[in-house]
Amino acid sequence: MEETKTTHYNWEAMPRERVNDLLERRLITSQHLMLAHVYLKKGCVVPQHSHDNEQLTYVLEGALHFYIGADEAHEVIVRSGEVLVIPPNVLHKAIALEDTLDVDIFSPPRQDWLNKTDDYLRQKVTTQPDCES
């Protein structure tokens, strides 16, 4: 019989990593997946970027305005209870329209988040103060 190893987490017991003044997160990783609670203050801008990872963003509270593609021509607002699927290597940017908590799921795990080389998030804080709700 194969022995299985499981790991149990409690989000509230985990420390938040402060990435910049407007963004914090908690990460859980497994061999093939990464699950993140991402806390964005209203006006937080996640600069345009892409990655090799498939991404699901599930907004639990708040709203995110996404701009998809190199020209940012495709726009979608993801609100509480909604999910956005972002395929690998798709350029995207996001602005928090209000204080937001989202769950991001990545496959495979984001190595740049694990080793803290995600400089696009760690640069001087950029805000969009006049966001529409």
| 55-60-64 Cα angle (round to 5) | 65
Quote the pLDDT of residue 132.
44
Residue 26 token pair: 């908690």
**In whole angstroms, what is the distance from residue 114 CA to residue 106 CA?**
12
Cβ(36)–Cβ(25) below 8 Å: yes
**In whole angstroms, what is the distance from residue 113 CA to residue 41 CA?**
19
Cis omega (within 30 of 0) for bond into 87 = no
How does pLDDT run along the chain (133 residues), one tens digit per residue? 666 889 999 999 999 999 999 999 999 999 999 999 999 999 999 999 999 999 999 999 999 999 999 999 999 999 999 999 999 999 999 999 999 999 999 999 999 999 999 999 998 765 565 544 3
> What pTM does this model have?
0.90
List of domains in the chain: 15-121 (2.60.120.10)
Q: Which residue has the tokens 């305005």?
A: 65
Amino acid at position 38, single letter: V
Q: Which residue has the tokens 């499981």?
A: 6
